[in-house]
Each structure stands twice: as C-alpha cells, then as structure tokens.
Amino acid sequence: MKILAIETSCDDTCAAVVEGSEIRSNVISSQDEAHAKFGGIVPEIASRHHLELTVPVVELALDEAGVSIGEIDSVAVTAGPGLIGALLVGLSTAKAIAAPRRLPLVPVDHLQGHVAANFLAPEPLEPPFLCLVASGGHTMLAAVRDHAGHEVLGQTLDDAAGEAFDKVARLLGLGFPGGPALQRLAEDGDPEAFELPVAMARDPGLDFSFSGLKTALAYLCRDLGPEGVKERRADLAASFQAAAVGQLTAKLKRALKRGGWSAVALGGGVAANGPLREAVTTLCEEQGVRLKLVPLELCTDNAAMIGSAARFATPMPYPDYLSYDAFPSSRAPAAVR
C-alpha cells in the first residue's frame, strides 16, 4: 500500500509517500520566513502560501519517492485540528487528487499523526506506550494502547508548551519560531538564575498549564527593564526552559508512577528540545522503561506522520468524502480514533 499524505494544518506545507512503515519521501516547505516579521503565524498568510505550495510539494514528494500518481493506493490528509483555512487547502487538494482516480481518502487527526510518527521505520514502536505530545498548538499526555487511536490522559488548560516557548522568545527579542532560538540562547545561561514556578506541580492530575510561567517571565522582564533584560537574556531563557521542561517531565513521571507502562515516546515540535530529550532520557532510565525518540524532522509537523496514522485508520471510499469537512478544534477531547 502506497499512501500519499498531505499536511497543511499550520504553517508548514508538507507531503510524503509512505509504504508500510517505510518513508519513501517526506517534503516540508517551511513558511517561517513569511511569518517571522509578524512575530507569529498569520492564518490568512498561511492559507495563501499553502495554496501556492501544495501542488509543487506533492509533485516533489512523488518525485523523491520515485512513484507516479498512478501507483498511489490512497490519499491521507490532516483534517484537523488546526487553522481552518490552512486545513481546507490540504483537504481540497487531497480530494482533488483522490476523486478523479476514485482513490479512497483517509482523514487524519493531527495529534494522532504526532503519535503515529513513532510507528515509522526504523524501529517502529509497538503499542502500548505513553506518549507526550508538546507542540505549538497542543500539549497532551496520551495513552496509546493500539495503532488506531489514543486516549488523552491530560492536556494543557491554557497555552501549549511550544506557544509558551514562542511567546517568551518574543519577550527576549528572539525571532519566530522561538523554541529553537530560545534553546540556543539558554545554552549560555544559568537555569537556576531565576526561580520560576513549575506550574501544576502539586496538582494531582495530569493536566498542564504554561500561561502562569509565561506571565512570570513577563513580570521579570518588566522589573528588569530593557537594559536588564538584555544583560540577563541567557539566564532568563535558561530559567524558563528549565521550568517548562520541569513541568513536562514531572507530569510524565506522575503518569509513569501510576504504573503499567513499559515504553514512552515523545512527539510534537517541543520534543525537538535538547534539554527535554535529556531529562526524559534520565527519567526513563530511572524508571526502567524504554524510550523512543523520533528524529527531529519527525517531531515537528510533517506528512510522513499523517501517512503513518492513515495506515491504521478507516479509509473513506469515493464519493463519500466529497462532502467531508475539516475540523479546527479537537473533535473528541477524551479519545481520538
């Protein structure tokens, strides 16, 4: 089965060809530059770029895979959650490719895509496992008991982890997206320079919160003044990163302590964060559980993960999907399948 997958839920235009657990191609066209001058993603600009880029990105994905469109068995596409205009470009393109060829269409949940990045070669991870997904739009701990879906055990009550990285990076005068730049700046700073709250530490549940941490940083910056912030930028970045990583690992540890898990996986853009990867590695060693860390290009948004999820989802036959609509918010807060 050769699956052509398309992902346009946010600001990256992505297409991939997946065959079994093997990635035949995985093309990502980043729009970072187009949004950088605005300090964040502008939804309408994202949609317009997707409109221009989707077809060439799909052609490149087929080309790199050495596969013609006639050899494709089904078309997978992110149907939500995400920016509605951006999602609609991907979904319409997928329908336009699938319908004339009478191919089945597989609508995929974006978060299940991040989970399914772990099912890809080499060394696909078999369920059951505990998955921490932290991205620019979502933060959740999920129980993955089979390939077809996941159960949300906890999620952010306000900002996503990546959103907090991006907003704090902006406060520190870094570009967009802020996560990677903040990590680089933090390398020169002292993570203990400022005492910041590790939110939800005493909360017995598995939910997250990042807006208090972001606000604490904003107050610190206000008190330090522009000159003070300039002098202490690296310390501020390192202290913020330590608190954010501390919260993510504390909740993962709590979920592990509830027992029954022998493997852990990470997903989403923040899973590319070096100190988070190190902290989770140490935690898993301590707890004696296996850790799967997908390569960085499979942490951030990509279409190979959508193709991977599609392998285990129910395809919609032609013409049933012609009236199928994208969904901007999570459809099923408790369980996704």
- Counting residues that bind Zn ion (by CB under 5 A) gives 2
Residue 162 lies near ligand KG4 (rule: CB under 6 A) = yes
Q: How far apart are CA 296 and CA 147, in angstroms?
A: 22
Q: Of Zn ion, ligand KG4, none, which one sits near residue 183, judging by CB under 5 to 8 A according to partner kind? A: ligand KG4
174-193 residues near ligand KG4, rule: CB under 6 A: 177-180, 183
Residue 165 lies near ligand KG4 (rule: CB under 6 A) = yes
Residue 11 lies near Zn ion (rule: CB under 5 A) = no
Q: How far apart are CA 330 and CA 337, in angstroms?
A: 12
Q: Which is nearer to Zn ion, 93 or 135 (CB)?
A: 135
Among 13, 247, 249, 273, the residue binding ligand KG4 under the rule CB under 6 A is: 273
Q: Which is nearer to ligand KG4, 85 or 136 (CB)?
A: 136
Residue 301 lies near Zn ion (rule: CB under 5 A) = yes
120-149 residues near ligand KG4, rule: CB under 6 A: 135-137
Stretch that binds Zn ion, among 72-80, 129-137, 270-278, 282-290 (CB under 5 A): 129-137
Q: Which is nearer to ligand KG4, 119 or 321 (CB)?
A: 119
Q: Which is nearer to ligand KG4, 93 or 300 (CB)?
A: 300
Q: What's the min distance (Å) between Cβ of 133 and ligand KG4?
A: 8
Q: What is the 3-state secondary structure (H, E, C) of the chain?
A: CEEEEEECCCCEEEEEEEECCEEEEEEEEECHHHHHCCCCCCHHHHHHHHHHHHHHHHHHHHHHHCCCHHHCCEEEEEEECCCHHHHHHHHHHHHHHHHHHCCCEEEEEHHHHHHHHHHCCCCCCCCCEEEEEECCCCEEEEEEEECCEEEEEEEECCCCHHHHHHHHHHHCCCCCCHHHHHHHHHCCCCCCCCCCCCCCCCCCCCCECCHHHHHHHHHHHHHHHHHHHHHHHHHHHHHHHHHHHHHHHHHHHHHHHCCCCCEEEEECHHHHCHHHHHHHHHHHHHHCCEEECCCHHHHCCCCHHHHHHHCCCCCECCCHHHHCCCCCCCCCCCEEC
Residue 166 lies near ligand KG4 (rule: CB under 6 A) = yes
Q: Which is nearer to ligand KG4, 98 or 336 (CB)?
A: 336
Q: What's the min distance (Å) between Cβ of 135 and Zn ion?
A: 4
105: left (phi over 0), alpha (psi -120 to 50) or beta: beta
Q: What's the min distance (Å) between Cβ of 189 and Zn ion?
A: 27
- Counting residues that bind ligand KG4 (by CB under 6 A) gives 19
* Residues facing residue 19 across a β-bridge: 2, 22
HSE-up (13 A, CA, CB side) for residue 62: 15
Among 300, 308, 313, 321, the residue binding ligand KG4 under the rule CB under 6 A is: 300
Longest dimension (CA), the chain: 63
Q: Of ligand KG4, Zn ion, none, which one sits near residue 305, judging by CB under 5 to 8 A according to partner kind? A: none
Among 135, 156, 273, 330, the residue binding Zn ion under the rule CB under 5 A is: 135
Binding mask 214-253 for ligand KG4 (x = CB under 6 A): ----------------------------------------
Residue 8 lies near Zn ion (rule: CB under 5 A) = no
Given the rule CB under 6 A, which residues bind ligand KG4?
10, 135-137, 162, 165-166, 177-180, 183, 268-270, 272-273, 300-301
Given the rule CB under 5 A, which residues bind Zn ion?
135, 301
